[in-house]
């Protein structure tokens, strides 16, 4: 509370002290690595004791923040901080936020000091546990009376109570909205004193992640100054010309400013021709005639085509496409391209699950889900294999297929109640990964040349779509005019509340809602009357969900269907809906 008084320097003083002690502890850690075990352990114990001593301060800090958030809510400052009990995104996150209330800024040095200590504790924790595992009873006895014994005698479990990562996660989860507000006002905090948030990227709002990503890309560009990257292409052969001129260029050259010339046309590229090149090239790359990608599900999203083997040098082309997508991110250019959720996961290095099959074949997905929820003991011919007809149907009508064993000898291994989860996982891996593994690997080879994996991994699959394709312009009136209802009518209270809540969404949450219901943030060029489902035109559906009224909304993306429970108030609907679109990434369809 002292830090909140006018003109107080307490926060800055605490921060300086913790930064100094953290630096000294780093010196002790280096000594430990160089053979000075006692000195290193002494520094570890010092930081541990310091955190114990400061626990009341961190508790008071958290209470101050909570009080401030409560006051903000009571004063109706929802444009700064809203939805205090849910997924907690700051409204207006895609635009400049209002100034923080008086007194808030004085909390920042305390928060920075807390992060400094947590980061040091986390760094030291592994070393402490390693040291502890080698400490014998005799060594513990000999260390009695020293500060080192404070944690060797207490054991690792008691130390974990003050593990920096655990303490940080609890604090950051509770106060993520205020932390994001600070980062939004000063993006440099994410690269410096609040950098530990990058270890829990789900706590960072999308606009802050995007700003951090752009900052790191600019740094990479400034560190490796490259000359302009000039290409001259023919419109009729934009894919071939671009491929031939870029595929052999060193990755360092690709970081230079792109300068495009369309042969036979006048004009100097001041940025407009580059944007046009990205647009024209992406249309050709994802055209069915190129054989590289195929549409699945509702024909709105793309996946590598297993039949690309009929394209000469197809893997080289996939590496080129990976470079183009990465170059667009590097240049801050948006592509009018939307991949399947599973392909975004491959880019991020995230494991796909059987839920991702729904976008490819919802009927097959329902069959797998039925298997997991029912006894399969009475299905004698179910083995760890896929027959040719089954594989041909699932793999986008692939023409040349053979029986496939999901694991060695799988044709002769029966699926049981105990092994059905393994079977479903292997089916998902085969359909979404193994069948197109060479194409995925080649794409990633080109992509990783420009965009570091650790940098892109701060995003989730839905955010990566928004990063590549941009936040869509969603006409809410058009969406509402083309919505259909089952179990409700347009006059139902829940439906009225739904549209009132959605009207208050920012662009990011609007995009998340569209992703949640349709599987992608793409808006049809002809408007929502042209929205496609798995079997053709399928408008935005709102169905009444029966059951417990407190359950989350669920969605069936292949039918553009939102199942909305009959909530008792608009506030409850807002809470449940926001939580669903922010946190319910999978597993809610066909519930």
Buried b (16+ CB within 10 A) or exposed e, 236-247: eebbebbbeebe
Catalytic annotation, pick one of 64, 118, 154, 558: 558
Name beta bridge partners: 258.
229
Q: In sequence order, what are the residues at sequence separation of 6 or more whose Cβ sits closer than 8 angstroms to the Cβ of residue 329? A: 217, 450, 451, 456, 467, 468
Q: What contacts 179, CB < 8 A, 6 or more positions away?
A: 111, 172, 194, 197, 203
Catalytic (active site) residue 118 = no
> Which burial class, exposed, middle or buried, applies to 292 when counting CB atoms under 10 A from its CB (0-12, 13-18, 19+)?
buried
Q: If DSSP codes are grouped into helix, strand and coil, which group holds residue 379?
A: coil
Helix boundaries (H) for 75-175: 108-133, 137-142, 149-152, 156-160, 164-174
In sequence order, the 6+-apart residues with CB closer than 8 A to the CB of 79 are 91, 92, 97, 98
State CA 406 to chain mean position distance.
Answer: 29
119 Cβ contact partners less than 8 Å away, ≥ 6 residues apart: 22, 164, 168, 195, 196
Whole-angstrom distance, CA of residue 48 vs CA of residue 120: 10
Report the C-alpha gap between 66 and 314 in whole angstroms: 56
Write down the number of H helices and E strands in the chain: 23, 12
Place of tokens 């991994």: 457
> How far is C-alpha 449 from the chain's CA centre?
21
Here the contacts of 191-194 (C-beta below 8 Å, separation 24 or greater) are 191/215, 191/216, 193/15, 193/112, 193/115, 193/116, 194/111, 194/112, 194/115
Give Cβ neighbours of residue 401 (< 8 Å, ≥ 6 apart): 388, 391, 392, 395
- Give the single-character DSSP code of 122: H
Are the C-beta atoms of 304 and 288 separated by less than 8 Å?
Answer: no
Say if residues 480 and 490 touch (Cβ distance below 8 Å).
Answer: no
Backbone angles phi, psi at 75, to 5 degrees: -95, 10
Q: Name the token pair of 280.
A: 């024209």
Write the CA distances from 102 to 65, 186, 189, 378, integer angstroms. Answer: 13, 17, 20, 68
Contact (CB, 8 A) for 336 and 411: no
Residue 523 tokens, joined? 């808006």
Contact 343, 431 (CB under 8 A): no
The enclosing H or E element of 216 equals: helix 206-223
Active site residues: 558
């Amino acid at each position: 509370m002292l830090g909140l008084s006018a003109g107080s320097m307490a926060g800055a003083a605490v921060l300086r002290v913790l930064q100094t002690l953290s630096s000294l502890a780093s010196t002790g850690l280096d000594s430990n690595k160089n053979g000075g075990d006692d000195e290193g352990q002494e520094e570890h114990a010092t930081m541990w004791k310091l955190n114990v001593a400061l626990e009341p301060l961190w508790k008071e800090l958290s209470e101050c923040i909570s009080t401030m958030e409560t006051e903000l809510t009571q004063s109706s400052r929802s444009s700064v901080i809203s939805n205090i009990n849910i997924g907690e995104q700051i409204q207006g996150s895609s635009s400049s936020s209002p100034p923080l209330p008086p007194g808030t800024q004085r909390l920042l040095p305390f928060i920075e000091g807390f992060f400094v200590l947590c980061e040091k504790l986390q760094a030291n924790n592994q070393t402490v546990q390693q040291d502890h595992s080698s400490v014998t009873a005799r060594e513990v006895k000999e260390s009695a009376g020293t500060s080192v014994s404070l944690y060797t005698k207490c054991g690792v479990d008691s130390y974990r109570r003050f593990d920096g990562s655990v303490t940080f996660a609890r604090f950051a989860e509770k106060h993520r909205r205020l932390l994001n507000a600070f980062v939004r006002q000063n993006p440099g905090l994410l690269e410096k004193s609040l950098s530990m948030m990058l270890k829990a990227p789900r706590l960072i709002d999308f606009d802050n992640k995007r700003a951090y990503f752009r900052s790191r890309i600019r740094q990479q560009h400034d560190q490796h100054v490259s000359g302009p990257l000039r290409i001259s292409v023919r419109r009729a052969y934009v894919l071939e010309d671009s491929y031939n001129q870029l595929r052999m260029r060193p990755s360092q050259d690709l970081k230079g400013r792109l300068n495009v010339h369309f042969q036979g046309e006048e004009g100097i590229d001041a940025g407009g021709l580059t944007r046009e090149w990205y647009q024209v090239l992406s249309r050709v790359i994802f055209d069915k005639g190129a054989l590289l990608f195929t549409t699945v599900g509702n024909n709105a999203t793309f996946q590598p085509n297993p039949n690309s083997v009929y394209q000469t040098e197809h893997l080289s082309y996939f590496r080129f496409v990976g470079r183009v997508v990465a170059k667009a991110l590097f240049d801050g250019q948006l592509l009018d391209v939307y991949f399947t959720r599973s392909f975004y996961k491959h880019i991020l290095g995230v494991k796909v699950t059987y839920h991702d099959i729904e976008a490819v074949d919802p009927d097959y997905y329902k069959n797998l889900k039925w298997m997991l929820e029912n006894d399969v003991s009475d299905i004698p011919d179910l083995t760890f294999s896929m027959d040719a007809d089954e594989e041909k149907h699932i793999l986008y009508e692939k023409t040349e297929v053979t029986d496939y064993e999901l694991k060695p000898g799988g044709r002769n291994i029966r699926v049981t109640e105990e092994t059905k989860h393994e079977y479903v996982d292997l089916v998902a891996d085969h359909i979404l990964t193994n069948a197109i593994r060479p194409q995925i690997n080649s794409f990633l080879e080109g992509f990783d040349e420009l965009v570091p994996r650790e940098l892109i991994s701060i995003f989730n699959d839905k955010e990566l779509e928004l990063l590549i394709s941009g936040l869509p312009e969603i006409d809410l009136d058009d969406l509402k005019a083309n919505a259909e209802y089952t179990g409700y009518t347009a006059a139902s209270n829940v439906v009225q509340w739904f549209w009132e809540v959605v009207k208050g969404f920012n662009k990011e949450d609007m995009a998340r809602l569209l992703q949640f219901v349709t599987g992608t943030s793409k808006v049809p060029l002809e408007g929502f009357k042209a929205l496609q489902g798995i079997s053709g035109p399928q408008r935005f559906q709102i169905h009444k969900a029966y059951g417990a009224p407190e359950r989350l909304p669920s969605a069936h993306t292949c039918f553009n269907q939102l199942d909305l429970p009959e909530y008792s108030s608009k506030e409850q609907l807002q809470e449940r809906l926001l939580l669903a679109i922010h946190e319910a990434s999978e597993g809610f369809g066909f519930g």
